[in-house]
C-alpha cells in the first residue's frame, strides 16, 4: 500500500500521520512544495513580532521527527499532474527534473493561496519594493528582510481579518506606525459590527490608525525625495480620496482554494470553487481524497460550505488519512469556531450569526449582553461582551460571539459554546451544564450561562 499526500501543511501531514497509525506497514510519501513541512503558518505573525525568536520554532515537528514517524518526504517538489487511471503522480523538483510516483491512495492537501484584490500596482510591486502577502514561510522571510534591511517607520495593512489584526500588533511591537485599512464597515468582519467596534477601540488604544469602509485602489512607489518607499491611494465609502505613505505594505485580504491539480484530473468542485468531497473526504475520483483549505467544508448547521481553518484542516486530514489506509471514518463537521488575540483582548465566535442563521432557514433571535469573567469582588475581573443567537421557535443555540480581555478565558468559553452547539443543546440547556467555579476564576453561573439566561429572558422563552 503506497499512500501519497500532496501538501506538507496541516491536512497533508495529519493524513500521513494517521495513515501510519492505522497501517504501520503502509508506505507513505508526502510531497511538499517547499522545504518547510509541518510548520505553523498561523504562528508567522508572532515570528514577525519577535515573540517567537527563531523561525524554526514554528515547526510542529522537525523533518527528522516526521521521517522517524515513518513517512518519506519529497521536499521542494511540486505535484504537476495526476493520472487517475494508472494511479501515477507527476512531480517536478526544484531543479526542474521530473519524477513519476505510483500510488494506491492519494490525498490532496494543496491548501489555499492568497486572494489578490483588484489593486493597481499589486501585480508589479513585490517584496523587493516593500509590498508583501503573508501565507508561507518564504513570505515571512521576505517580510523580515524588509524590516531588517530597510528599517521602515510605517506600515499599511490592507485587510482587518484575523491575520491582519495579528500583523497590526506584530508591527506595533516592532515600533512601526501602523494604519489598518478595511473595505467593509467594521474591523474583523467575521463577527457582528458591535464587536468589531470593540476591536477597533482596542486597536486605536494601542496607536493603530483605523480606516474602515475604505478601499485601497492603488499602490505605487513613492515619489523621489519622499521619506517613505510607498504610496497607497484609497477611497472611502463616501467617495473621499485617502493617501497614505508607508515603508511597508501588507496585503492580507483572505485566501482562495488551490484546486488546479485536482481540477485538471477531473475532480468536481463545490462551494467557492473548492474540491468537492463527501464526509469521508473522498472526491469523485477513485482512490483520491482531499482535505484542508483546498476542500469544501461540511458544516454542522449549514451543510456544504467552504471555511478554511487550521483546526478543520487537521481534522479533515486525519479522516482522509485513516480512510486512505483502509479505515472507515467521517468528518463530523465544522462550526467555524475561531478566536483571535488583539493586543490585550480577544474576539471569538462559533456557529452562526443572525444573518447566517436566517439565510439557513432559521428564525433567529440575537441578544447582546455582558458578564464578569469571575466574581467581581475578587481583584482583576473583566467584563465579557457577548452575543447569543438562538432559534425563536425551537430555542436551539445557533451561535455565540465573545469579546473580552485576554485573561478572561475567551477561547475556552467559546469552546463551551461550540460543544453545546455541536451537541444540539437549546440555549436554556446551557444553564444545565455542570461547569467549574471558584471566585478567582469564575462564578456559580459561568459567563456563558449568564449569557444563555439573558437570551432566554429577552427572547421570551422564560
301-336 residue pLDDT tens:
999 999 999 999 999 999 999 999 999 999 999 999
In the predicted structure, residue 357 carries a pLDDT above the cut 80: yes
Contact predicate 22/51, CB 8 Å? no
Alpha-carbon distance of 441 to 94, in angstroms, equals: 53
Residue that is last in its domain, among 324, 356, 373: 324
The verdict on 58 and 32 lying in the same domain is yes
The verdict on 140 and 245 lying in the same domain is yes
Domain count, the chain: 3
Give the CATH number, domain containing residue 394.
3.30.390.30
Alpha carbon dihedral 248, 252, 256, 260, in 10-degree steps, equals 20
Residue that is last in its domain, among 251, 273, 306: 251
Average confidence (pLDDT) over 165-192: 97
- Give the model confidence (pLDDT) of 393-441 as tens digits: 999 999 999 999 999 999 999 999 999 999 999 999 999 999 999 999 9
Is residue 294 annotated as a catalytic residue, yes or no?
no
Helix axes 162-173, 193-205, angle to 10 degrees: 10
The verdict on 369 and 382 lying in the same domain is yes
Tell me whether residue 337 is in a domain. no
The verdict on 454 and 375 lying in the same domain is yes
The verdict on 14 and 100 lying in the same domain is yes
Tell me whether residue 244 is in a domain. yes
- Report residue 392: phi and psi, to 5°: -60, -40
Tell me whether residue 267 is in a domain. yes
In the predicted structure, residue 224 carries a pLDDT above the cut 90: no
Q: What is the pTM of this model?
A: 0.94
Give the CATH number, domain containing residue 159.
3.50.50.60
Alpha-carbon distance of 301 to 310, in angstroms, equals: 19
Determine the pLDDT at residue 386. Answer: 98
Alpha-carbon distance of 277 to 257, in angstroms, equals: 14
Q: Report the percentage of the chain scoring pLDDT > 70.
A: 99
Determine the pLDDT at residue 53. Answer: 94
Average confidence (pLDDT) over 447-452: 98
| Banded model confidence at residue 191, pLDDT cuts 50, 70, 90 | very high
Determine the pLDDT at residue 226. Answer: 75
Alpha-carbon distance of 279 to 303, in angstroms, equals: 11
Alpha-carbon distance of 33 to 22, in angstroms, equals: 26
Task: Report the 10 Å Cβ neighbour count for 279.
Answer: 14
Determine the pLDDT at residue 17. Answer: 98
Say which of 42, 172, 294, 369 is annotated catalytic. 42
115 Cβ neighbours under 8 A, 6+ residues apart: 253, 254, 255, 256
Please tell me which residue, 293 or 224, carries the higher pLDDT value.
293
Tell me whether residue 329 is in a domain. no
Burial of 440 (C-beta count, 10 Å sphere; 0-12/13-18/19+)? exposed
The verdict on 6 and 76 lying in the same domain is yes
| Banded model confidence at residue 227, pLDDT cuts 50, 70, 90 | confident
Residue that is last in its domain, among 289, 324, 359: 324
SS3 label, residue 234 = strand
Contact predicate 91/310, CB 8 Å? no
Contact predicate 71/7, CB 8 Å? no
The verdict on 246 and 260 lying in the same domain is no
Alpha-carbon distance of 402 to 413, in angstroms, equals: 8
Tell me whether residue 436 is in a domain. yes
Mean pLDDT of the chain: 96
Task: Report the 10 Å Cβ neighbour count for 328.
Answer: 7
Alpha-carbon distance of 419 to 314, in angstroms, equals: 18
Determine the pLDDT at residue 369. Answer: 97
Rounded to the nearest 5 degrees, what angle is found at the Cα of 157, between the Cα atoms of 155 and 159?
A: 175
Tell me whether residue 439 is in a domain. yes
Domain residues for the domain of 288 are 2-112+255-324
The verdict on 152 and 236 lying in the same domain is yes
Determine the pLDDT at residue 461. Answer: 65
Report how far apart, in Å, the C-alpha atoms of 424 and of each of 109, 171, 351, 402, 428 are. Answer: 30, 41, 11, 20, 12
The verdict on 131 and 246 lying in the same domain is yes
Rounded to the nearest 5 degrees, what angle is found at the Cα of 194, between the Cα atoms of 423 and 391?
A: 35
Tell me whether residue 118 is in a domain. no
Alpha-carbon distance of 213 to 10, in angstroms, equals: 34
Report how far apart, in Å, the C-alpha atoms of 440 and of each of 252, 337, 379 are. Answer: 39, 26, 8
The verdict on 450 and 351 lying in the same domain is yes
144 Cβ neighbours under 8 A, 6+ residues apart: 47, 48
Q: Report the percentage of the chain scoring pLDDT > 90.
A: 97
Tell me whether residue 158 is in a domain. yes
The verdict on 142 and 247 lying in the same domain is yes
Report how far apart, in Å, the C-alpha atoms of 447 and of each of 161, 337, 348, 383, 441 are. Answer: 26, 18, 14, 9, 11
Alpha-carbon distance of 212 to 443, in angstroms, equals: 37
Average confidence (pLDDT) over 232-255: 96
Task: Report the 10 Å Cβ neighbour count for 205.
Answer: 11
Identify the bridge partners of residue 290 per DSSP, sorted by sequence position: 108
Determine the pLDDT at residue 377. Answer: 97
Cα end-to-end span (Å), the chain: 59
The verdict on 386 and 363 lying in the same domain is yes
| Banded model confidence at residue 223, pLDDT cuts 50, 70, 90 | confident
SS3 label, residue 158 = strand
Lowest mean pLDDT among 163-167, 176-180, 205-209, 221-225: 221-225
- Report residue 173: phi and psi, to 5°: -60, -25
Of 459, 450, 272, 430, the C-alpha closest to 351 is 430
Determine the pLDDT at residue 462. Answer: 59
Burial of 124 (C-beta count, 10 Å sphere; 0-12/13-18/19+)? exposed
Amino acid at each position: 500500500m503506497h499512500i501519497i499526500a500532496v501538501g506538507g501543511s496541516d491536512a497533508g501531514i495529519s493524513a500521513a500521520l494517521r495513515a501510519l497509525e492505522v497501517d504501520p506497514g503502509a508506505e507513505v510519501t508526502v510531497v511538499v512544495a517547499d522545504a518547510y513541512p509541518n510548520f505553523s503558518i498561523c504562528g508567522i505573525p508572532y515570528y514577525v513580532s519577535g515573540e517567537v525568536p527563531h523561525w524554526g520554532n514554528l515547526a510542529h515537528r522537525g523533518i527528522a521527527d516526521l521521517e522517524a514517524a515513518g513517512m518519506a518526504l519529497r521536499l521542494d517538489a511540486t505535484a504537476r499532474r495526476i493520472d487517475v487511471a494508472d494511479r501515477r503522480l507527476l512531480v517536478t523538483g526544484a531543479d526542474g527534473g521530473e519524477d513519476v510516483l505510483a500510488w494506491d491512495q492519494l490525498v490532496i492537501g494543496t491548501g489555499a493561496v492568497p486572494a489578490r484584490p483588484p489593486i493597481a500596482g499589486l501585480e508589479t510591486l513585490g517584496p523587493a519594493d516593500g509590498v508583501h502577502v503573508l501565507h508561507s514561510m518564504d513570505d515571512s522571510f521576505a517580510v523580515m528582510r524588509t524590516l531588517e534591511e530597510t528599517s521602515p517607520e510605517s506600515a499599511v495593512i490592507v485587510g482587518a481579518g484575523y491575520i491582519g489584526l495579528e500583523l497590526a500588533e506584530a508591527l506595533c511591537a516592532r515600533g512601526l506606525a501602523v494604519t489598518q485599512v478595511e473595505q467593509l464597515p467594521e474591523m474583523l468582519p467575521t463577527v457582528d459590527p458591535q464587536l468589531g467596534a470593540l476591536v477597533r477601540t482596542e486597536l486605536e488604544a494601542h496607536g493603530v490608525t483605523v480606516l474602515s469602509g475604505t478601499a485601497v485602489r492603488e499602490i505605487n512607489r513613492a515619489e523621489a525625495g519622499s521619506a517613505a518607499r510607498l504610496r497607497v491611494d484609497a477611497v472611502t465609502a463616501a467617495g473621499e480620496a485617502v493617501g497614505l505613505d508607508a515603508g511597508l505594505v501588507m496585503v492580507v485580504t483572505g485566501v482562495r482554494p488551490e484546486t488546479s491539480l485536482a481540477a485538471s484530473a477531473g475532480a468536481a468542485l463545490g462551494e467557492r470553487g473548492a474540491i468537492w468531497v463527501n464526509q469521508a473526504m473522498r472526491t469523485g475520483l477513485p482512490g483520491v481524497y482531499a482535505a484542508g483549505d483546498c476542500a469544501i467544508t461540511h458544516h454542522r448547521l449549514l451543510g456544504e460550505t467552504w471555511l478554511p481553518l487550521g483546526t478543520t484542516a487537521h481534522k479533515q486530514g486525519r479522516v482522509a488519512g485513516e480512510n486512505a489506509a483502509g479505515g472507515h471514518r467521517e468528518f463530523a463537521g465544522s462550526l467555524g469556531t475561531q478566536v483571535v488575540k488583539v493586543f490585550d483582548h480577544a474576539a471569538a465566535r462559533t456557529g452562526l450569526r443572525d444573518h447566517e442563521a436566517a439565510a439557513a432557514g432559521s428564525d433567529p433571535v440575537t441578544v447582546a449582553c455582558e458578564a464578569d469573567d469571575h466574581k467581581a469582588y475578587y481583584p482583576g475581573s473583566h467584563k465579557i461582551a457577548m452575543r447569543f443567537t438562538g432559534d425563536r421557535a425551537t430555542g436551539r443555540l445557533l451561535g455565540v460571539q465573545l469579546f473580552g480581555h485576554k485573561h478572561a478565558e475567551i477561547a475556552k468559553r467559546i469552546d463551551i459554546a461550540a460543544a453545546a452547539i455541536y451537541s444540539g443543546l437549546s440555549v436554556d440547556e446551557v444553564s444545565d451544564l455542570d461547569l467549574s467555579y471558584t471566585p478567582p476564576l469564575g462564578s456559580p453561573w459561568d459567563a456563558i450561562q449568564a449569557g444563555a439566561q439573558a437570551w432566554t429572558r429577552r427572547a421570551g422563552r422564560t
